Structure 1
Amino acid sequence: MITQILAKSNGETLVEHTLSCLNIYQQLIDIFPDLDKYTDFISFYEVVFQALFLHDVGKSSEEFQKYLKGLPNEWNHYRHEILSTPFVNLLNIKESERDIIKTLVLTHHKDLDGLIPYSETLDYLGKPFSEHMKSIVVHQEEINIFFDELFNCITYFSDHNLKITSFSEQKHFTNDDWEDTLIGLSQSLRKNEKFKNWFFRIGIMGKGMINASDYLASGGIKEILKPLPSLEEVYTFKKRTSIQEKCLNLIGNAILISPTGSGKTEAALFWATNNLNQTKGNRIFFTLPYTASINALYIRLRKKFHPWYQSEDFISLLHGRAGYFLSQMYEDQKTSLHLAKISHQICSPYKIMTPFQAIRHFFSLKGYEMGLLEMYQGIFIFDEIHSYEPRTVALILGMCSFLKNKLDAKILLMSATLPSFISSMFQKDLDINQIITMEKNEQNEYLRHRCFILDGTILDNLSYIKAAIQRKKRVLVVCNTVKQAQIVYNELYSPHINSALLHSKFILKDREEIENIIITGEITEDENPPLQLLVGTQTVEVSLDIDYDICFTEPAPIDALIQRFGRVNRKKEKGICPVYVFRQGSDSDKFIYNPEKVQKTLSVLSEIEYLHEWELQRIVDCVYSDGFGEKQEEFENTYHMFTDVLNEIVPLKNYDRKESDFFKLFDSIEVIPNKFLTEVKMAVEEGNFFEIMKYTLPLSKGQFYRLKIEGRVSNESEYLFIDAKYDSHLGLILSASDSSII
């Protein structure tokens, strides 16, 4: 018989839940097989096992059982982990190990500061600990049966030697017991540097293991999947590129620089697979800068890897709108909600995400211990590293240093073009001595573009673009600002050609529809492709897998231009295609790009006609000869700030103030045009959060506060609405006076 002490309101018993936790824990040991060495604590796995065994025994309180059953009770939101802690006294173990187990049991939900309000020493006014313990003694017989049943069920945990005394009296169950643990640990972490250094890894990894076991078991997860041990059957290329061959056997941290369309993604996955640990359980993190490219890679890898997995859980998607994207991808809401939930847990062996999803854990936000555990010996791929502004590069550099030096992670940086000064920073901080590039003879095959510099602005030269359209060419036009893209699209639009405009100021619903039109235009086999003209902003640089015949672009730094050119003749099937750069941009360009770097780019490109891949690195280094230039100070300040954040990580302590610090890193605010007020109110009434998200678009903080000063921002149903014209074909349209809003 299974004792009827409940662990969950859904009827799951304490025995069932504890066994589920221990099942997950055994798999986590296989995923992370050497934490005893990493923590320098030989009893690490044993201690965590014992803490997990006892972590929820406090739920046997009569009042908590009533609470779970929905009956009148006097639980008053007390903490079951406080009541679980004294049960550690029943273990026949060393005193030093007992103290660690008490700590892990006590803090498995709230951090140290979150437990202080329950301390009677500090004037807690609720029902006292002793009264709560009396409601546990009522279940004395059931608790001993619980122990017996667990012992009968855990014989397969042969590595764990668990000896426990029967629960028969209250003499070891005093309020001082848990409070001494709380206060003693808090003081030691604050005042004893030697203890803090010793306990750092034990506390973080221990709590991470307990939380991961508890959360996954509570979510009904039975199996933690591993990465594929080999990709030979997944990718059956007739011939691999040179970078793919090199990455197949590459061990350790590296930098990979190779042209767009040269198979970097597959090369990176070969490298990741080759760097798995002895149990092949490391988590693989693939980071990208833009949500569109993250979504695209998620779909691509899910389709590619799916035949080798029995479960949908093998890959996770992580970015600010991931839940919405999954809800649109899966008709079954239960599946999308499940996949969104497990993405934040140690479940999927592959995670496709923005770097900020990893960075957030270093701000000691709630659950960070589980995040750091997952990243232990993690395999990290940072793609499109050139695309980040200096502040984000500083955060990634600081994080990579911590990952390598503190968490024994492996790191691969990738880019089509990477300025040498950025490469040098990562090489120095991460001790990287492996730079992977394509063989020169192979690079010659990637001569795809012939560059022309045209005088004047894009608006001065619309005739060139119209002529290309008339010649039935697939034309890509890239502007630096949303406003300029809207103007150009209006000038070029004709009902007789299929065209699209893509930029960041569309609501999510419209942007998805536009991206689907663009993707459909790529897979057609018709003689005249359905999408002949695409006008866009930087969003087209790395967001979508597109292949056009000709490009017209406003001036930008060389690395941005190379990405734009990469959307032309991507598959090398069109000979050498022309790409045109206009010498002048719009007045607002200075808010986006450093004018000096733009001028350097134009100067260098004026001397070159054919863009050989082997020459691009020289051009990039010429343009970035002064590094970040005027933004170097911003880079350094961010790096030092983040270093301080990393140094302030303390086991079992969350920092609420750092949540606001973390969100300050983001420069955008989600808003909804007034046009959709009725639709949003209806969705709010229905409680349909994802329906509301369809009508959101991002504004920079500068844009937002300008509109707010002008009285054009309102708050309805907890959502921010803006008074601005919106058109489903053009996006957000601001008044003519808003020339700097881009």
Structure 2
Amino acid sequence: MRRPLRWPDWLEDVWAKSAEKGAGGSPESLAQHTWLVLERFSDLARLRPTLPQTIGVPRLWHILFWAIMIHDFGKAACGFQARLRGGPRWPYRHEVLSLAFIDWIAGAFTGEEVPWVVAAVVSHHRDAEEIQNAYEPLEDPYEEDIVATLIAELPDESIRGMLRWLTECSEDWICSLGLDQLGVRPAPLPEVEQAVQQIRKKGAARVHDWLKVYRRFLKAIDQSNEPVLIIGTLALRGHIINADQSASAHVRSSPKADFSAKTVLERCDLDPRMLFRHQQLAGETLGSALLIAPTGSGKTEAAQLWAARQATDTPITRLFYTLPYQASMNAMQRRLAQSYGEAQVGILHGRALSALYRMMLEKEYDPRQAAKEARWARNLAQLNHQPVRVFSPFQMLKGMYRLKGYEALLLDYHGAAFIFDEIHAYEVRRLAMILKTIEYLTRNYSARFLIMSATFPNLIRRQLQSALNSPAEILTDEAVFVTFRRHRLHLLDGELTDEENLQRICADARKGKSVLVVCNLVARAQDMYERLRQRLANQRIEVVLLHSRFTIRDRLHKETQIRHAVGSKSSQRKPVVLVATQAVEVSLDIDLDTLYSDPAPLEALVQRFGRINRRRLHPDLAPVHVFCRPDDGQKIYAADIVKRTIDILKREDGRPIDESSIGSWLDEIYAGEIAEQWQNEYARAASEFEATCIRTLRAFQSDLMLQEEFYKAFDGLEVLPNDLYDEYARLYEDDPIRAHDLLVPISWRSYHALARQGMVKAGDRRTPPVVLTSYTAEQGLMFDSFSGTEQ
């Protein structure tokens, strides 16, 4: 640990962490922990040096430095120190006791700034409601004062030692961390005996006074619509939570990513003279933008060039790449690691730990070391550590739904750049929430967004333009669309499962083609897989099934198998038949020869087409086949949109697909009654989200009800197939990551449907809910008579 010149050696016996939680298995002194928190805080301050001026709280760094200096002074209490040494539980809040020391430093602040210091100190662990409930104002004069009892636990020697620490060391610490250059100044401090008597005689009363100040401050925040107060206090708490948690985890300084265009071009093996027009324009566009280019035309590289341009103006603090599906997130993490370095790219989704574990095993770590490294990488992502992160927009929505620690999450979005790939994948209600969040971050957090797609219908484009305040539009030229004319459309009668169509698919497979078969429902994909597997078994043609209802272990194995067989850059390519659901649509860099697909909305079909002839090596236009039936949306798509899509495809049947025309096709689909219905649903969802989440967004107030709504709406839950119960029980004790690899994600809707049929056994502390339907590594979780809609 780097140490400043001046150090309070006289306080080494006052601990902040026990040996169990200290660095290297040793106890961590109060001074050591505070220094680590200040190091992490100074990293955050240097990352966004102008943030205080931007949000209108010019002395934010000064406030936070002094709040951090005293935030754990309450840990000097005898009971807390005894607990760290193996004694009994200490059932009080040390941060409330730390308020007794506010008077020592209050002279360094204006009257308006003092409540900010109080709030930072008292809230660095617990939300306001918990503190207020535990330390309500005394109404009965004869009632025992808990705070007075706590004050009595502070030894005089520790009180004197902490004042000496502030007096002799604080200025050196400010300078050692470079915080003097960011406006942090020394505080006028009292004389020793005056300070001790202040704590002894007035400490309890002053703590109650400061708690009253905190309550009034919270009320002012709650009743205010002033961005300075709302955004400022969110940043205040975000900093102290992030710095404290990172220090407790013994995280080092955040790595720096090289966002320069030169590095992107070199690592992506791009010749700047050979860039497509949209890639050139992306590298020249400053600020938020919409990018429209054909699937497979290097949009990911264009996005990185856009990020490089942002970094040349105002340095971007973070780069977030957002995708809808875990498979595409895992693939994107690998791609971005090639550009920015593995240590710089984190990944956040429900199965990130298992994905990281598999990546570590691929590097030939032994299982124990792989588990350790995977947990550490996952923890770093959760601590907002890496400068580049891959996640879904639902991770971003956690901040708006006020899940615990949301202020630290939101802090990371100040000055960040976001890349959204294929925003078409979100149904209208979720899209409304995402775009309202984008709008909020654009207006209040100086965030910049690049939204990419092969096309945008005008109906969505207008909402994007509103959310991003008239962004630039990056359009590739017509020649690129001609160059990327890779597919010929064939609309087929009947449906995928008809015998003649199964024979058609098998005939292509026997010719040595790699065939993609996309079904809209998991159960349908499972059925197709079994039919094709049986028909092709004698020819030794590999058939692979991919959908969301596999265990993590089997899903990651399949992703690797697919990447090797049909990955665009694979050196081990071989023909396969890939049967999949919508999970194959976005950002999987795979390249097959032909497609057979259930009918779906046009924007989804375009993504499916994009997995075919991706490298443009097919001698002719690759055939993509879409069936006319079933046209009822199969419970996941609107039937009228699917029918209008089929009508347009009938008109284009047999023709090359010109992706430059898809925008006008979408406008045909989203017209009249469909457009009106879409706009009404969007407006309702946006209004509801704004009222529930955005207008109520305040610091210090995580919300359990909103949290429950979030998880029900977005997260689903993981269940254990009964067929894997014995294996899970064996693994749980020795290798919990591998045990977790045996879980399957399903939606709340599917879970409750299974529960109603008596197909679920409740979980306990060790075991998640167990579903009584069959599971195999080839087919995944079978719902038998229940028809699920997972992808």
TM range, normalised to the smaller chain?
Answer: over 0.9
- Cα pair distance change 1:273/1:695, threshold 3 Å: same
Give the structure 1 partner of residue 81 of structure 2. 65
C-alpha change, 1:278 and 1:488, in structure 2 (3 Å) is closer
- Matching residue of 1:540: 584
1:179/1:111 Cα in 2 relative to 1: closer, same or farther (>3 Å)? farther
Q: Specify the alignment match of 1:243 in structure 2.
A: 278
Counterpart residue number, 1:259: 294
Structure 2 contact 494–629 (Cα < 8 Å) conserved: yes
> For each residue in 1:18-57, what CA deviation from the matched residue of structure 2 results, as whole angstroms up to 9, or x when unmatched?
2222222222222112222223233222111111121112
> After superposition, where does 1:672-683 map in structure 2 within 5 Å?
672-683=720-731
After superposition, the Cα gap between the structure-2 partners of 1:525 and 1:80, relative to the gap in structure 1 and judged at 3 Å, is: closer
Q: Deviations over 1:83-108 (max 9, x none)?
A: 21121211232333333212211111
Return the match for 1:146 from 165, 182, 192.
Answer: 165
Instruction: Check the 8 A contact 1:500/1:534 in 2, yes or no.
Output: yes
- Alpha-carbon offset, residue 470 of structure 1: 2.1
Partner of 2:780: 731
Equivalent-residue separation in structure 1 for 2:377 and 2:214 (angstroms): 37
Residue from 610, 621, 632 that aligns with 1:576: 621
Tell me the equivalent position of 1:37: 53
TM-score, normalised to structure 1, is 0.93
Matched, 1:320 2:360: no
Distance 2:206 2:401 in 1: 31
> In the alignment, which of 172, 175, 178 is matched to residue 155 of structure 1?
175
Contact 1:30 1:281 in 2 (8 A): no
Give, in angstroms, the shift of residue 178 of structure 1.
Answer: 2.8
Counterpart position of 1:509: 553
Residue matched to 2:68: 52
Alignment: residue pair count: 732
Structure 2 residue runs without a partner (length 5+): 1-7
Is the partner of 2:611 in helix, strand or coil? coil
CA contact (8 A) 1:478 1:537 kept: yes
Contact 1:225–1:348 (Cα < 8 Å) also in 2: yes
Supply the distance in 2 between the matched residues of 1:49 and 1:383 (Cα, whole angstroms).
Answer: 39
Of the three residues 650, 654, 662, the one matched with 2:698 is 650
Question: Cα gap change, 1:78/1:498 in structure 2, threshold over 3 Å: closer, same or farther?
Answer: same
Say if 1:630 and 1:435 are closer, same or farther in 2 by CA, change over 3 A: same
Stretch moving more, 371-380 or 115-124 = 115-124
Residue 270 of structure 1 corresponds to 305
Map of 1:613 onto structure 2: 659
Query: Which residue identity does 1:224 align to in structure 2?
Result: S
Identify the residue that residue 16 of structure 1 maps to in structure 2.
32
From the superposition, tell whether residues 49 and 521 of structure 1 become closer, same or farther in structure 2 (CA, over 3 Å).
same
CA separation of 1:123/1:357 partners in 2, compared to 1, >3 Å: closer, same or farther?
farther
Q: Tell me how far apart the structure 2 counterparts of residues 383 and 524 of structure 1 sit (CA, whole Å).
A: 19
**1:279 deviation in Å?**
6.5
Deviation at 1:525, TM superposition (A): 10
**CA 716–201 in structure 1, closer or farther in 2 if over 3 Å, else same:** closer
Match of 1:488 in 2: 528
Match of 2:92 in 1: 78
- Tell whether 2:707 aligns with 1:659: yes
Contact 2:523-2:788 within 8 A present in 1 as well: no
CA distance in 2, matches of 1:529, 1:267: 26
CA distance in 2, matches of 1:415, 1:103: 44
2:237 paired with 1:207: yes
1:687: Cα distance to partner? 6.3
* Distance in 1, Cα, partners of 2:155 & 2:572: 80
Instruction: Specify the SS of the correspondent of 1:456.
Output: strand
The alpha-carbon deviation at position 122 of structure 1 amounts to 4.8
Q: Kindly indicate whether the alpha-carbon contact (under 8 Å) linking 2:231 and 2:444 is maintained by their aligned counterparts in 1.
A: no
Q: What is the CA–CA distance in structure 2 between the aligned matches of 1:282 and 1:110, rounded to whole Å?
A: 27
Looking at structure 2, the residues matched to 673 and 556 of structure 1 have their Cα atoms a distance apart, in angstroms, of 30
Code of the aligned partner of 1:316:
G
Question: What letter matches 2:255 in structure 1?
Answer: L
Does the CA contact (< 8 Å) of 1:58 and 1:84 recur in 2? yes
Aligned residue in 2 for 1:222: 252
Query: Could you tell me which amino acid in structure 1 is paired with residue 130 of structure 2?
Result: G
Q: Residue type of the partner of 1:181?
A: W
| Residue 631 of structure 1: how far off its partner (Å) | 5.5
Structure-2 separation of matches of 1:390 and 1:518: 31
Q: Residue 4 of structure 2 aligns with which residue?
A: none
Q: 1:265 to 1:126 in 2, by over 3 A?
A: farther
For residues 408 and 305 of structure 1, do their structure 2 counterparts lie closer, same or farther at Cα, with a shift above 3 Å needed?
Answer: closer
Paired residue type of 1:452: H
| TM-score between both structures, scaled by the size of structure 2 | 0.88
Taking only aligned residues, the RMSD between alpha carbons, in angstroms, comes to 2.5
8 Å Cα contact 2:719/2:744 also seen in 1 = yes
**Aligned match for 1:423, one of 461, 471, 482:** 461
Q: Which amino acid aligns with 1:87?
A: F
Given that 1:451 and 1:578 are in contact with CA atoms closer than 8 Å, whether structure 2 keeps it comes out as yes
- Structure 1 pair 614/543, CA: closer, same or farther in 2 (3 Å)? closer
> Structure 2 vs 1, CA of residues 667 and 303 (structure 1 numbering), >3 Å: closer, same or farther?
closer
| Residue correspondence of structure 1 range 337-352 to structure 2 within 5 A | 337-352=375-390
Match of 1:171 in 2: 198
Counterpart residue number, 2:153: 135
Distance 2:192 2:314 in 1: 39
More displaced 10-residue stretch of structure 1: 273-282 or 111-120: 273-282
Of residues 207, 214, 218, the one that matches 1:185 is 214
Q: CA deviation at 1:176?
A: 3.2
Measure how far apart 1:563 and its partner are. 0.9
CA distance in 2, matches of 1:402, 1:603: 38
Question: Residue 329 in 1 paired to residue 359 in 2?
Answer: yes
Tell whether the 8 Å contact from 2:323 to 2:393 is kept in structure 1 after alignment: yes
Q: Deviations over 1:635-668 (max 9, x none)?
A: 3332122101110112222222221122122273
Cα distance 1:525–1:210, how it changes in 2: closer, same or farther (>3 A)? Answer: closer
Structure 2 counterpart of 1:309: none
- The yes-or-no answer on 1:721 pairing with 2:770 is yes
Aligned counterpart, 1:558: 602
In terms of mean alpha carbon deviation, does 717-726 or 446-455 score higher? 717-726
Q: Which residue of 1 is the match for residue 745 of structure 2? A: 698
Q: What is the percent sequence identity of the aligned residues?
A: 30
Contact 1:188-1:195 within 8 A present in 2 as well: no
Which residue number corresponds to residue 465 of structure 1? 505
2:418 equivalent to 1:374: no
For 1:193 and 1:665, locate their aligned partners in 2 and report how far apart those are by CA, in whole Å: 26
Tell whether the 8 Å contact from 2:439 to 2:467 is kept in structure 1 after alignment. yes
Q: How far, CA to CA, are the matches of 2:57 and 2:571 in structure 1?
A: 68
Q: Specify the SS of the correspondent of 1:356.
A: helix
1:166 shift after superposition: 4.2
Unaligned runs of 5+ in 1: 307-311
* Pairwise CA distance, 1:454: 1.3
How far apart, CA to CA, are the structure 1 residues paired with 2:526 and 2:577?
A: 13
For the residues of structure 1 that align with 2:191 and 2:709, how far apart are their CA atoms?
48
User: 1:707 aligned to 2:747?
Assistant: no
SS at match of 2:379: helix
Per the TM alignment, residue 440 of structure 1 is displaced from its structure 2 partner at its CA by 0.8
Deviation at 1:219, TM superposition (A): 2.0
Write the letter of the residue equivalent to 1:471.
K
Pick closer, same or farther for the CA change 1:123–1:241 going to 2, 3 Å.
farther
The residue matched to 1:455 in structure 2 has which SS? Answer: strand
Aligned equivalents of 2:398 and 2:229: distance in 1? 22
